[in-house]
A and B are shown apart, each in its own frame.
Chain A
Amino acid sequence: MNGWVLAATVELAGGGAAALWGVTTGPTARRVVAQNLTTAALCPALLLLAQGYGRPSYVDLALLLALLGPVGTLVFARLLHEDLEGQRPSAWGLTYAVAAMGAVVVAAVCAATGPGRAMVKLLVIGALLVGGNLIASRALSGAFRGVRGG
């Protein structure tokens, strides 16, 4: 029994199910938002798991997800911008809530790790996660409006 893993399980079940529901129903714009929030919901779960298993090396997964997840969303925002036009797919309340949760998780894991190189890595992940999430949301709500041929 391990509190970190339990937290990760809850986060995974809640975030994963919500993301799955969001990405399979509704208009395309809503689905892209759900895809974006998947990153934000599952990246903290990966951090919690790394902590729970006592394996600092698993943190690399969270790092890569925080880095690549928003890139994936930007791909959709860029290549689906025609579908997104006219709709304003922004769920800012939800976005901030999920970003705040990510920040809380990073802070908790940081507290458990203690200062050092590992903590710097965690902070980088936190920054990438929150920043990437907000930027991707911004991109979804019309950053590529003018894009035509490119």
Chain B
Amino acid sequence: MSRRLRLWLLALGGAGLAALLAAACLDLPGFGGRAHPYGTRAVHASLTRHTANTIASVNFDQRAYDTLGETSILFAAVLGCVVLLRQARDEHRARPEPARVALPVRRYALLVMPVALVCGLYVIAHGQLSPGGGFQGGVVTATALHLLYLGADYHALERIRPLGVFETTDALAVCAYLVLGLAALLAGTAFLANTLLPYGTFNTLSSGGTVPLLNAAVGMEVASAVVVLLANFLDQAVEIEEESAG
């Protein structure tokens, strides 16, 4: 199809959709409205389960089944990327040359790396109390490791990053999430029911029953998944070369 024709089609479809969406926007309840029945119920349910962060309660307790799906999406995408970015038959690996990085930058990277790791773990650990949680903290933790690539070179990163361990951890974290869900089922309630542990004291690290455990499993999963994901892209960008390119 020619570029022109495509633009015409796009204009046609876009105009129709734009009109529809604009009309829908005018029918929407005004921005900032008061009626949120589900939201109100969720806040109430969160408080009865002693979880200070309602979003964590929704994610890891009330709608933990959604989070199972979300975790699986990440797991599947990482597995998919490992498969898609594997070394093809006509490719080989070349050792990258070591990089020379200006000293202040190197110092900064090495200094900030532990800070970022601690921050990531903090965000994971306080997931059920303050904003944050397994996903956010997991990404920060994984990113922190890659400061080593930015501050030094790929070789340095590879030394502290046993990829096999991270791949296994990724899968085991998903297992842990599922096993926690199944444990509730075996205990006689429903899948992923938060009834195994006492709910603890409101606004403490151990409150919320299984919420902190599920949160930790997701944190572990996300951190290892992001490390594996970036490793595969880095391999492509830095190491893997095609034979014919010689």
Direct A–B touching, Cβ under 8 Å: yes
Query: Residues on A close to B: CB < 8 A?
Result: 57-58, 60-61, 63-64, 67-68, 70-71, 74-75, 78, 124, 128, 131-132, 135, 138-139, 142-150
A-B contact pairs, 12 of them (CB 8 A): A58-B131, A63-B119, A68-B116, A71-B150, A74-B147, A78-B150, A142-B102, A143-B101, A144-B105, A150-B96, A150-B98, A150-B154
Q: Contact at B112–A128, with CB atoms within 8 Å?
A: yes
Partner of A149, one of B130, B140, B238: B238
Contacts of A74 in B (CB 8 A): 105, 109, 147, 150-151
Residue of A nearest to B153 (CB): A150
Contacts of A71 in B (CB 8 A): 112, 116, 143, 147, 150
How far apart are the CA atoms of A82 and B127 in the complex, in Å? 41
- The answer to whether B104 touches A57 (Cβ under 8 A) is no
Q: Are A149 and B104 in contact (CB under 8 A)?
A: no
B161 interface residue, CB < 8 Å from A?
no
Q: Which residues of B contact A67 (CB under 8 A)?
A: 112, 115-116, 119, 140
Residues of B within 8 A of A58 (CB): 131
B97 within 8 A of A: yes
Check if B99 is an interface residue, CB within 8 A of chain A. Answer: yes
Whether the Cβ atoms of A150 and B104 lie closer than 8 Å is no
**Pick the contact of B104 from A63, A68, A75, A138 — CB < 8 Å?**
A138
In the complex, what residue of chain A is closest to B106 when comparing beta carbons? Answer: A143
Q: How far is the CB of B106 from chain A (nearest CB, A)?
A: 9
| Complex Cα spacing A68 to B105, Å | 15
Complex: A118 Cα to B154 Cα, angstroms:
37
Residues in chain B near residue A70, CB distance under 8 A: 108, 112
Chain A residues closer than 8 Å to B187, beta-carbon distance: none
Give the interface SS of chain B, mostly helix, strand, loop or mixed. Answer: helix
| Interface-central residue, B94, B97, B150, by most chain A CB under 10 Å | B150
Task: With CB as the reference atom, state the residue of chain B lying closest to A81.
Answer: B99
Contact B131 A148 (CB under 8 A): no
B4 within 8 A of A: no
Say which residue of A57, A60, A68, A150 sits within 8 Å of B99 (CB atoms).
A150
B123 in contact (CB, < 8 A): yes
- Mark each residue of chain B from 57 to 97: 1 if its CB lies under 8 Å from any CB of chain A, else 0: 00000000000000000000000000000000000001011
Of B132, B143, B238, the contact of A68 (CB 8 Å cutoff):
B143
3 A-B pairs closest in CB distance: A143-B102, A150-B99, A146-B100
Q: Across the interface, name the chain B residue whose C-beta is closest to A73.
A: B150
Asked whether, in the complex, the Cβ of B105 is within 8 Å of the Cβ of A138, the reply is yes
Chain A hits for B153, CB < 8 A: 147, 150
User: Do A60 and B238 contact each other (CB < 8 Å), given the known contacts A71-B147, A74-B150, A146-B100?
Assistant: no
CB distance from B173 to the nearest CB of A (A): 22
In Å, the complex CA distance between A18 and B109 comes to: 28
Contact B99 A147 (CB under 8 A): yes
Q: Which residue of B lies closest to A142 (CB)?
A: B102
Query: B97 near A149 (CB under 8 angstroms)?
Result: yes
B residues near A148, Cβ cutoff 8 Å: 97, 99
Q: Give the CA-CA distance A51 to B155 in the complex, in Å.
A: 43
B105 close to A149 (CB less than 8 A) = no
Chain A residues with Cβ under 8 A from B99's Cβ? Answer: 144, 146-150
Q: Is the CB of B100 within 8 A of A57?
A: no
Tell me which of B94, B112, B155, B238 contacts A132 (CB under 8 A). Answer: B112
In the complex, A144→B150 CA distance in Å? 9
- The CA-CA distance from A144 to B94 in the complex, in Å, is 21
16 extra interchain contacts, Cβ-Cβ under 8 A, other than A60-B131, A149-B99?
A57-B131, A67-B112, A67-B116, A67-B140, A128-B112, A131-B108, A135-B105, A138-B105, A139-B105, A143-B105, A144-B101, A144-B105, A146-B100, A147-B153, A150-B98, A150-B155
